[in-house]
């Protein structure tokens, strides 16, 4: 006999019923645990009540059901599809009601208890994360239901267990009242996406416990007190501690910090259980208006981290979590905001162990209510307050024993309201040892930190100088940019300018780049899918691909840039006095963990090298150190010193010799190429030859340099607009991508005005302009040669009323083939005017394929900056001045039209851009446009290139489609 299931709980504002009170999470004790992950039986229904609950009863035959992996999201396992929206609710807004169409996954798992499962005590069943609402039955008994997707829920089940044939049934609804509280900018991904575990609870076992481990920097002593719900003893062998739970003890300790994550192993032993403790002693305080840890102000060099894996979504395994932390540490990142929900609890253990400051954020966002002026916002409606308090408690109780967590965050983009205040009061009362963050309240009523997102540089500077006003309370508070540097597509630009402000003003305690990783979903036809690729009726496109890592966790140029910008050692010098200035930018550590070395490079080739002795230097201290004399007999040419700081020994996060910081100091200037105009142009049979240059006599177009064919050489101002060029729809400032298209810069026409042959030059005069506009650029190409080399001088002058900057300014041309590329200039990766901190001058070798940056949505990419000379496709190019080099197997127009990388097909020709200038990148896909100093103004310009046939062939094999 079966009953129709009541699904009223789905739309109930309450957090649920039947679950145990929240408590500290711990992975390992000597109590038995049984992981229930693996293959589960699965049935998907269209509505919450399509099926009765008879499947939960023992004996139900689910043999005909599909199977899914738990942890996992069913929409990533072939059942239904993912939906991406930024802040719009993908259902009508009528809280707490949800649509009738409510994908509902029934999950079944049969299990036996291991033979040695103890008979005494109790057992709890723990769910670490289920989106968005679950009802649970064990052996036919209804245990209750819960919401709060990224929070743990436990049920007491000991009395229901049998040695064999246990039936665990879980009904999961995609939409619930809880969905209104979980409107984070990410894919909507229902499922049991974190672990399900059966935990034996021995009689007399540990219940909840709270490790208080503070550090007094004035005495060097740590005070430990472990509060426990059950009597017990606390031992820390390395510190000789053996005290009763609840009893404080003070001993000399090494403090914990993100830079020096010293953990002490301890044990909490009760009558029935031994729980391992990992204790880090640190004191977090707000004093003199600054966030201090162990007495010192800290500077957050942070990222916002969503949990993401391109195949598994938010069902992350431990190896992926560890990879995230290692990648952060190796890129000089010292802080993470767990945007916008508590992460898998194991992630915090890794932060404790490897050293990251954590802002732990609650699973709360109601951003979609902004569409209705925040009317009906649940955080300002008392009916929802129990659910909000439940979420706050489940986060704090779960994560309170992690030394890495220094700040709690109420959530993200939820407006303001009494519910938030209630959460803040509860958190402050329960855990006064940490600070509280919430960005959405500019008055800072409930918070200990003034926080903003995407404020531009000028405003951040005003805040730093305390000229920003605000409430009395806010004026007393330190500042963090909880989101900045929107890493969508090519960019973010302007990071170095923010970092300078952070370092200049003590009130500015750093920021968190948005965001860590692109949420692209691996897709058989598209490479990586983004919003709209699953036919969503409402979606926000590739706004979900805005990370410093590509979906496969390869670092994007943005991460390389960020690593350089936030490096903890400053290495600088202008080459005038033979010294290098080394500055310790750590907050706690001296420089004794690093080894310093120098190389002396001429034309990018290392001529000499050695070590540099650097004193240990306390945080904040600098030293000017003498560099050796340039090596005698070094070849002539442009020379520089590269000074590196590397790890002196293996660390838990990177091996010895890992580069932490570097700087380059000029030693000898470049001599620009000189080509005497000695050869005469000769016209014959419709062709003009000038040195190695062959031209069409009628059009003046370059046909070849020696035996290297060249096509389509002409002035170019267009680039495939980046996400930051295009800007977000809601951006109020000038969105240059749109302005450029409106002006027609993507469809410029070239009018030939004259082909002039003189004694020593071929001059081609053109006017470059789009249809329908009077704005234009005149472009004069003047070709000369010394017989071996061909020099092109381009002079361009804007005509008409140019009110916008140019995307780029330079020439482009096609080569019939090119594979290997070698250059002397900036590298190894791409760089643009406001993203060039990580570009090092050197001799670089790559291939046309490898010079492409795989942005999920194709766009301008891959430019190498300050290139003195380059060789590719049999051609050598020298620049006067140095230029930007881009080479790709498709045209800019094809790149511009592509929506996924799989649209990019080689057309045979390799298209080369040699640019005199590029417009900055900025961060306008969510934040500010490029600073004016990075604009490429339309103004008269002259630049030249020297072409010759390269001595070494640079075409190796027939190139394939990229």
Selected binder of ligand IPT within 168, 277, 336, 453 (CB under 6 A): 453
Residue 184 vs 784, nearer CB to ligand IPT? 184
List 11, 145, 461, 483, catalytic entry: 483
Selected binder of ligand IPT within 257, 412, 944, 954 (CB under 6 A): 412
Selected binder of ligand IPT within 546, 723, 830, 860 (CB under 6 A): 546
Q: Distances from the Cα of 536 to the Cαs of 82, 90, 530, 685, in angstroms? A: 8, 9, 10, 61
Contact between 483 and ligand IPT per CB under 6 A: yes
Residue 423 vs 757, nearer CB to ligand IPT? 423
Contact between 924 and ligand IPT per CB under 6 A: no
Residue 512 vs 943, nearer CB to ligand IPT? 512
The bridge status of strand 130-131 relative to strand 66-70 is unpaired
- The enclosing H or E element of 216 equals strand 209-216
Contact between 451 and ligand IPT per CB under 6 A: no
Shortest Cβ 365–ligand IPT spacing (Å): 7
Shortest Cβ 174–ligand IPT spacing (Å): 20
Shortest Cβ 173–ligand IPT spacing (Å): 24
The full DSSP string for 275-326 is EEEEE----EEEETTEEEETTEE--EEEEE----BTTTBT---HHHHHHHHH
Contact between 431 and ligand IPT per CB under 6 A: no
Helices 495-504 & 557-565, crossing angle to 10 degrees? 20
Structure tokens at 57: 């009863």
Residue 397 vs 723, nearer CB to ligand IPT? 723
Order across the sheet with 605-612: list the strands.
Answer: 605-612, 594-602, 639-647, 659-668
Q: Give the span between the Cα atoms of 873 and 631, in whole angstroms.
A: 35
Shortest Cβ 341–ligand IPT spacing (Å): 11
Catalytic, 561? Answer no
Shortest Cβ 826–ligand IPT spacing (Å): 29
Residue 86 vs 763, nearer CB to ligand IPT? 86
Helices 385-399 & 345-354, crossing angle to 10 degrees? 40
Q: Taking a C-beta distance cutoff of 8 angstroms, is the pair 84, 531 a contact?
A: yes
Residue 658: how many other CB atoms lie within 10 Å: 13
The full DSSP string for 605-660 is EEEEEEEE------TT-EEEEEPPPPPTTPPSS-EEEEEEEEESS--SSS-TT-EE
Give residue for tokens 């810069």: 745
Burial class (CB in 10 A: 0-12, 13-18, 19+), 88: middle
End-to-end CA distance of the chain: give it in Å, rounded: 62
Shortest Cβ 203–ligand IPT spacing (Å): 45
Shortest Cβ 151–ligand IPT spacing (Å): 18
Selected binder of ligand IPT within 926, 941, 946, 949 (CB under 6 A): 926
Selected binder of ligand IPT within 185, 352, 380, 871 (CB under 6 A): 185
| Nearby residues of 328 by Cβ (< 8 Å), 6 or more positions away | 303, 336, 356, 516
Size of the site for ligand IPT (CB under 6 A): 14
Contact between 413 and ligand IPT per CB under 6 A: yes
Residue 413 vs 601, nearer CB to ligand IPT? 413
Residue 454 vs 534, nearer CB to ligand IPT? 454
Contact between 545 and ligand IPT per CB under 6 A: no
Residue 413 vs 561, nearer CB to ligand IPT? 413
Contact between 855 and ligand IPT per CB under 6 A: no
Shortest Cβ 855–ligand IPT spacing (Å): 15
Structure tokens at 261: 């994550």
Contact between 723 and ligand IPT per CB under 6 A: no
Shortest Cβ 544–ligand IPT spacing (Å): 8
Q: Give the span between the Cα atoms of 824 and 84, in whole angstroms.
A: 43
Shortest Cβ 439–ligand IPT spacing (Å): 8
Q: Give the span between the Cα atoms of 757 and 688, in whole angstroms.
A: 9
List 413, 515, 860, 866, catalytic entry: 413
Residue 60 vs 454, nearer CB to ligand IPT? 454
Give residue for tokens 């239904």: 80
The full DSSP string for 48-111 is TTSS-SGGGSTT---TTSEEEEESS-GGGTTSS--EEESSS-SS---TT---SEEEEEEEEEEE
Catalytic, 629? Answer no
How many secondary structure helices (H) and strands (E) does the chain include?
11, 59
| Nearby residues of 760 by Cβ (< 8 Å), 6 or more positions away | 677, 678, 679, 680, 681, 784
Shortest Cβ 153–ligand IPT spacing (Å): 25
CA atoms within 13 A on the CB side of 718: 23
Q: Distances from the Cα of 542 to the Cαs of 487, 552, 558, in angstroms? A: 12, 16, 17
| Nearby residues of 206 by Cβ (< 8 Å), 6 or more positions away | 26, 29, 228, 229, 230, 232, 268, 270, 272, 273, 275
Shortest Cβ 927–ligand IPT spacing (Å): 8
By CB under 6 A, what part of segment 62-101 binds ligand IPT?
A: 86
Selected binder of ligand IPT within 514, 562, 736, 947 (CB under 6 A): 514
Q: Give the span between the Cα atoms of 559 and 566, in whole angstroms.
A: 11
Residue 514 vs 781, nearer CB to ligand IPT? 514
Residue 380 vs 413, nearer CB to ligand IPT? 413
Structure tokens at 534: 């699953």
Q: Distances from the Cα of 502 to the Cαs of 102, 496, 583, 746, in angstroms? A: 47, 10, 16, 38
Q: Taking a C-beta distance cutoff of 8 angstroms, is the pair 304, 483 a contact?
A: yes
Per 3-state DSSP, the chain is made up of helix, strand and coil in percentages (nearest 5) of 15, 35, 45
Q: Give the span between the Cα atoms of 453 and 439, in whole angstroms.
A: 7
What's the Rg (C-alpha) of the chain? 31
Q: Taking a C-beta distance cutoff of 8 angstroms, is the pair 595, 647 a contact?
A: yes
Residue 281 vs 543, nearer CB to ligand IPT? 543
Q: 348: left (phi > 0), else alpha (psi -120 to 50), else beta?
A: alpha
Residue 486 vs 808, nearer CB to ligand IPT? 486
Catalytic residues: 413, 483
Enumerate binding residues for ligand IPT (CB under 6 A): 86, 184-185, 340, 412-413, 453-454, 483, 486, 514, 543, 546, 926
């Amino acid at each position: 006999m079966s009953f129709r299931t009541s699904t009223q709980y789905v739309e109930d504002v309450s957090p649920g019923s039947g679950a145990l009170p929240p408590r500290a999470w711990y992975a390992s004790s000597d109590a038995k645990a049984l992981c229930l992950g693996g293959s589960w039986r699965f049935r998907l229904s269209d509505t919450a009540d399509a099926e009765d609950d008879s499947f939960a009863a023992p004996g139900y035959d689910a043999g005909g059901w599909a199977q899914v992996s738990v942890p996992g999201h069913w929409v990533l396992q072939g059942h239904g599809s993912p939906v991406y929206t930024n802040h719009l609710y993908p259902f009508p807004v009528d809280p707490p009601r949800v649509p009738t169409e409510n994908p509902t996954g029934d999950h079944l798992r049969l299990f036996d208890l291991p033979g040695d499962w103890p008979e005494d005590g109790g057992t709890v069943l723990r769910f670490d994360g289920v989106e968005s609402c679950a009802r649970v039955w064990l052996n036919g008994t209804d245990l209750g239901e819960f919401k709060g997707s990224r929070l743990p829920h436990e049920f007491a089940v000991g009395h229901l267990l049998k040695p064999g044939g246990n039936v665990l049934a879980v009904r999961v609804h995609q939409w619930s009242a809880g969905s209104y509280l979980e409107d984070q900018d990410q894919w909507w991904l229902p499922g049991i996406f974190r672990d399900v575990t059966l935990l034996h609870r021995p009689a007399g076992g540990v219940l909840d416990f709270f490790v208080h481990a503070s550090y007094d920097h004035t005495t060097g002593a740590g005070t430990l007190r472990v509060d426990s719900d059950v009597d017990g003893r606390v031992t820390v062998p390395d510190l000789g501690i053996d005290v009763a739970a609840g009893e404080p003890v003070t001993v000399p300790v090494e403090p914990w910090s993100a830079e020096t994550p010293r953990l002490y192993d301890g044990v909490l032993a009760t009558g029935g259980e031994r729980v391992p403790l990992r204790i880090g002693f640190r004191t977090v305080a707000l004093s003199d208006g600054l966030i201090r840890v162990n007495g010192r102000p800290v500077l957050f060099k942070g990222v916002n981290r969503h949990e993401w894996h391109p195949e598994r979504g938010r069902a992350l395994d431990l190896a992926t979590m560890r990879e995230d932390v290692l990648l952060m540490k190796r890129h000089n990142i010292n802080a993470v905001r767990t945007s916008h929900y508590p992460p898998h609890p194991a992630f915090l253990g890794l932060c404790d162990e490897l050293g990251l400051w954590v802002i732990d954020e609650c699973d709360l966002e109601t951003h979609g209510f902004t569409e209705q002026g925040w009317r009906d916002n649940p955080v300002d409606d008392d009916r929802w307050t129990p659910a909000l308090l439940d979420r706050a408690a489940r986060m704090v109780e779960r994560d309170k024993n992690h030394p890495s967590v220094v700040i709690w965050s109420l959530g993200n983009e939820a407006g303001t309201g009494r519910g938030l205040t209630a959460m803040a009061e509860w958190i402050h009362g329960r855990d006064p040892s940490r600070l509280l963050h919430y960005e959405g309240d500019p008055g800072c009523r409930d918070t200990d930190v003034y926080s903003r997102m995407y404020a531009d540089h000028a405003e951040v500077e005003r805040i730093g100088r305390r000229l920003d006003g605000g409430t009395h309370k806010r004026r007393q508070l330190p500042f963090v940019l909880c989101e900045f540097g929107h890493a969508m597509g090519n960019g973010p630009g302007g990071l170095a300018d923010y970092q300078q402000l952070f370092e200049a003003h003590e009130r500015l305690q750093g920021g968190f780049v948005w965001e860590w990783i692109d949420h692209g979903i691996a897709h058989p036809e598209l490479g990586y899918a983004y919003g709209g690729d699953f036919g969503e009726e409402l979606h926000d496109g590739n706004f979900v691909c805005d990370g410093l890592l590509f979906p496969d966790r390869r670092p994007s140029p943005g991460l390389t840039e960020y690593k350089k910008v936030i490096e903890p050692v400053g290495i600088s010098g202008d080459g005038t006095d033979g010294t290098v200035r080394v500055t310790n930018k750590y907050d706690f550590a001296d420089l004794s963990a690093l080894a310093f070395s120098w190389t002396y490079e001429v034309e990018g080739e290392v001529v000499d090298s050695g070590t540099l002795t650097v004193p240990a230097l306390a945080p904040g201290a600098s030293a000017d150190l003498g560099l050796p004399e340039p090596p005698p007999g070094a070849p002539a040419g442009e020379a520089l010193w590269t000074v590196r700081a590397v790890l002196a020994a293996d660390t838990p996060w990177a091996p010895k010799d890992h580069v932490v910081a570097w700087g380059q100091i000029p030693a000898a200037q470049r001599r620009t190429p000189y080509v005497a105009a000695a050869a005469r142009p000769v016209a014959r049979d419709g062709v003009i030859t000038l040195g190695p240059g062959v031209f069409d006599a009628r059009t003046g177009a370059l046909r070849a340099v020696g035996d290297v064919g060249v096509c389509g050489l002409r002035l170019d101002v267009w680039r495939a607009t980046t996400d930051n060029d295009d800007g977000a729809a809601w951006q109020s400032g000038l969105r240059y991508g749109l302005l450029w298209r409106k002006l027609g810069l993507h469809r410029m026409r070239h009018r030939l005005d004259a082909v002039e042959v003189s004694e020593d030059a071929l001059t081609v005069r053109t006017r470059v302009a789009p249809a329908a506009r009077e704005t234009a650029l005149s472009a004069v190409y003047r070709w000369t040669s010394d017989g071996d080399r061909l020099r092109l001088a381009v002079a361009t002058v804007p005509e008409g009323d140019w009110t916008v900057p140019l995307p780029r300014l330079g020439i482009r041309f096609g080569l019939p083939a090119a594979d290997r590329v070698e250059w002397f200039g900036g590298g190894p990766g791409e760089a643009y005017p406001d993203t060039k901190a990580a570009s090092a001058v050197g001799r670089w070798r790559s291939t046309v394929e490898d010079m492409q940056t795989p942005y999920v949505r194709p766009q301008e990419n891959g430019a190498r900056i300050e290139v003195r000379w380059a060789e590719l496709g049999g051609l050598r190019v020298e620049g006067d001045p140095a230029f930007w080099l881009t080479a790709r197997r498709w045209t800019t127009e094809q790149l511009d039209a592509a929506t996924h990388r799989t649209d990019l097909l080689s057309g045979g020709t390799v298209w080369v851009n040699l640019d005199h200038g590029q417009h900055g990148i900025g961060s306008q896909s969510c934040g500010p446009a490029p600073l004016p100093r990075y604009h490429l103004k339309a103004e008269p310009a002259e630049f030249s290139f020297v072409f010759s046939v390269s001595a070494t062939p640079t075409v190796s094999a027939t190139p394939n489609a990229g």
